[in-house]
C-alpha cells in the first residue's frame, strides 16, 4: 500500500489538489508524519462519509489509554518529546479536553460550555464589533497593510483573552507564543509551551486573590470547590487550550477568507450587494479555505473495516477535513467558491469545525467573529485589494494546516 509523506513539498503547497488525487486513488491510506518514527504510521481517511464516521463512531477514541490492552503509545506525546518538549510538560499537550473521551471529556466541556452557547455568543457580538471597528480605525491607508498581523490576529485574540481572563498587557506575549508553537523550526515548540504553562501557573494564584467576571475565575472556583471536577494540570491545560484554539484558527479563517474573496471578484461583489448572505459565506469559506486540514489523531478500539482497508486496534487515524470538504460525492462542483452554497446557515454540511462529540466548542464564536471581521472590512474599505499577485502570497507550510504567513493589502482603490 502506498505511504504518503505528509512533508511532501507538493502536498504542502497544494493540499487541495494533492488530497483530491489521493482521495480518488485510495480513500484510506497510510502516511508518514514528521517527528514520528517509521514504526508509527498513520492512517489517513479522505472521503466525506468516512471522515464523519471516524469523527462520530464510538469505535474511535481520542485517548489511546481507552484502547483495550493498554499498550498503545500516545502519538501526541511522542511528537511533543521529539520536538524537544521536556517529558514533564509533554502531557499538557496530550491530556486536555480535546484529547479525552466519554465522561472525562464531557466533565471538562461542561465547565466551559456556557460561555460558548448561541445566546452567550450573541451577547458578545457588540463587543466583537467594537473591537473590530477599533482595529479598522487604526489601519493606515497610505501604505501596504499586513492584514494577518494588523487585523486577523488581534481581533480573535482580544476576544478570547477577554473571555478567559488574560490581562491586556500579556496578550502580545500570547500572540508570540502561539506563532512559535506552530513553527516547523527544530525545537520551536518547547520554549513557548513551557512559557505558557509557567505563565498560567503564575496567573492562577493572582486571579484567585482577585476574582473577576471571566472563565478563569469560574475554573478556579470549580477546582477549589471540588478537585474531582478539575485537577491542577487540567486547569492549566484548559486555559492553554482555550486561548490558543480560540484565536489561531479564527485568525487564519479571516486571513484565508479575505484572500479568497479578493481573488474571486464575482463572489466579493455578490457579498457586498447581499450582505445578508454573510452567515452562509462564512460557512462556505470555512469549507473552501478553512485553516484546519487534519484532525487530532483517533484510535480504533477494535479492528475497523473502512472502504476496503482494515484499521487495526490502536493504530492512529487522521481524518482529512480538507479532502472531505471537497469530496464531489457530497458537494456539487466542490472546487467552486459559492458564498450561497449553504442553504441553511444554522445547519452546516461541511466538516471544517469537525463533527460528533468533539465538534468545535467555539464554532459559534468563530463564525460570529468571521461575520463581523469580513463585514466590517468590506464595508469600511470598498477599494480593498491585494498588494501582490495571488501567486506571491506566502504560506506557512505545515502538515494538516493552511495559513498565510502574511496578507499584504491596499485599503483604497
Q: What is the DSSP string of 41-61?
A: -EEEE-SHHHHHHHHH-TTEE
- pLDDT per residue as tens digits for the range 267-276: 999 999 999 9
> For residue 205, with 0-12 CB atoms within 10 Å meaning exposed, 13-18 middle and 19 or more buried, which class applies?
exposed
Report yes or no: 402 and 291 within 8 Å, Cβ to Cβ: yes
DSSP state letter for 363: H
| CA dist list (Å): 35 to 3, 8, 71, 91, 317 | 16, 14, 20, 16, 16
pLDDT, position 347 = 76
What pLDDT, on a 0 to 100 scale, did the predictor assign at position 71?
82
Q: Percentages helix, strand, coil for the chain, rounded to the nearest 5?
A: 55, 10, 35
Say if residues 43 and 309 touch (Cβ distance below 8 Å): yes
Q: With beta carbons less than 8 A apart as the criterion, state whether 188 and 178 touch.
A: no
Matching residue, cell 476574582: 211
pLDDT at 342: 80
pTM over 0.75: yes
In this prediction, residue 346 carries a pLDDT of: 66
405 CB-near residues (< 8 Å, 6+ apart): 148, 394, 395, 396
Instruction: State the pLDDT at residue 59.
Output: 97
Residue 345 pLDDT? 59
| pLDDT < 70: residue spans in the chain | 1, 38-39, 227-228, 344-346, 413
- Cell 484546519 identifies what position? 292
What's the Cα-to-Cα distance from 180 to each of 32, 225, 270, 354, 403, rounded to whole Å?
23, 35, 37, 25, 14
Distances (CA, A) of 241 to 73, 153, 161, 353: 22, 17, 12, 16
In the chain, DSSP finds a helix count (H) and a strand count (E) of 17, 11
pLDDT at residue number 1: 67
Residue 22 main-chain phi, psi, to 5 deg: -65, -40
pLDDT in tens, 272-309: 999 999 999 999 999 999 999 999 999 999 999 999 89
Give the 3-state secondary structure of residue 28. Answer: strand
Q: In what order do the strands lie in the sheet with 385-386?
A: 145-146, 408-410, 385-386
Using a 10 angstrom Cβ sphere, with 0-12 exposed, 13-18 middle and 19 or more buried, the burial of residue 66 is middle
Q: Which residues are CB-contacts of 214 (< 8 A; sequence separation ≥ 6)?
A: 162, 163, 164, 165, 207
pLDDT digits (tens, 9 = 90+) for 185-196: 777 888 999 999
Q: Which helix (H) or strand (E) holds 189?
A: none
**396: Cα separation from own chain's centroid:** 15
Give the pairing type, strands 304-306 and 309-311: antiparallel
Per cent of the chain over pLDDT 70 is 98
d(CA 160, CA 247): 7
Cell of 194: 513551557
**Cell, residue 405:** 504567513
Rounded Cα distance between 332 and 79, Å, is 37
The packing angle between helices 171-181 and 154-164, to 10°, is 110
What does the block give as the cell for 55? 469523527
C-alpha to C-alpha distance for 271 and 372, rounded to whole angstroms: 13
Beta partners for residue 43, in sequence order: 30, 317
Strands 408-410 and 385-386 turn out to be antiparallel
Domains by residue range for the chain, with CATH? 3-410 (1.10.630.10)
Rounded distance between C-alpha atoms, residue 296 and residue 269, angstroms: 37
Contact 267, 261 (CB under 8 A): yes
At residue 182, the pLDDT reads 79
Amino acid at each position: 500500500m502506498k505511504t504518503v509523506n505528509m512533508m511532501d513539498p507538493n502536498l504542502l503547497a497544494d493540499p487541495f489538489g494533492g488530497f483530491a488525487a489521493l482521495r480518488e486513488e485510495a480513500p484510506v491510506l497510510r502516511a508518514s508524519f514528521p517527528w514520528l518514527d517509521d514504526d508509527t504510521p498513520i492512517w489517513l481517511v479522505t472521503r466525506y462519509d468516512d471522515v464523519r464516521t471516524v469523527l462520530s463512531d464510538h469505535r474511535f477514541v481520542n485517548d489511546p489509554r481507552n484502547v483495550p490492552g493498554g499498550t498503545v503509545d500516545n502519538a501526541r506525546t511522542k511528537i511533543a518529546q521529539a520536538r524537544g518538549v521536556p517529558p514533564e510538560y509533554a502531557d499538557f499537550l496530550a491530556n486536555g479536553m480535546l484529547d479525552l473521551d466519554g465522561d472525562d471529556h464531557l466533565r471538562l466541556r461542561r465547565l466551559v460550555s456556557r460561555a460558548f452557547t448561541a445566546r452567550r455568543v450573541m451577547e458578545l457580538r457588540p463587543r466583537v464589533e467594537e473591537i473590530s471597528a477599533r482595529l479598522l480605525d487604526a489601519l493606515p491607508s497610505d501604505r501596504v497593510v499586513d492584514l494577518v498581523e494588523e487585523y486577523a490576529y488581534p481581533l480573535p485574540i482580544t476576544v478570547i483573552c477577554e473571555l478567559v481572563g488574560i490581562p491586556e498587557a500579556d496578550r502580545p506575549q500570547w500572540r508570540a507564543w502561539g506563532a512559535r508553537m506552530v513553527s516547523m523550526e527544530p525545537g520551536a515548540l518547547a520554549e513557548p509551551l513551557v512559557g505558557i504553562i509557567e505563565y498560567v501557573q503564575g496567573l492562577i494564584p493572582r486571579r484567585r486573590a482577585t476574582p473577576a467576571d471571566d472563565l478563569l475565575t469560574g475554573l478556579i472556583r470549580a477546582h477549589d470547590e471540588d478537585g474531582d471536577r478539575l485537577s491542577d494540570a487540567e486547569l492549566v491545560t484548559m486555559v492553554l487550550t482555550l486561548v490558543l484554539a480560540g484565536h489561531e484558527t479564527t485568525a487564519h479563517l479571516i486571513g484565508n477568507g479575505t484572500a479568497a474573496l479578493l481573488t474571486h471578484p464575482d463572489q466579493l461583489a455578490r457579498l457586498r450587494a447581499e450582505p445578508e448572505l454573510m452567515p452562509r459565506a462564512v460557512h462556505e469559506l470555512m469549507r473552501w479555505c478553512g485553516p484546519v486540514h487534519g484532525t487530532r489523531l483517533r484510535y480504533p478500539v477494535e479492528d475497523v473495516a473502512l472502504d476496503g482497508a482494515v484499521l487495526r486496534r490502536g493504530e492512529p487515524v487522521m481524518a482529512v477535513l480538507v479532502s472531505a470538504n471537497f469530496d464531489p460525492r457530497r458537494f456539487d462542483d466542490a472546487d467552486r467558491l459559492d458564498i450561497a452554497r449553504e442553504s441553511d446557515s444554522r445547519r452546516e454540511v461541511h466538516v471544517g469545525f469537525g463533527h460528533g462529540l468533539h465538534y468545535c466548542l467555539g464554532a459559534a464564536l468563530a463564525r460570529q467573529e468571521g461575520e463581523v471581521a469580513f463585514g466590517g472590512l468590506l464595508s469600511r474599505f470598498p477599494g480593498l485589494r491585494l498588494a501582490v499577485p495571488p501567486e506571491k502570497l506566502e504560506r506557512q507550510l505545515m502538515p494538516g494546516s493552511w495559513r498565510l504567513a502574511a496578507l499584504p493589502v491596499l485599503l483604497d482603490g
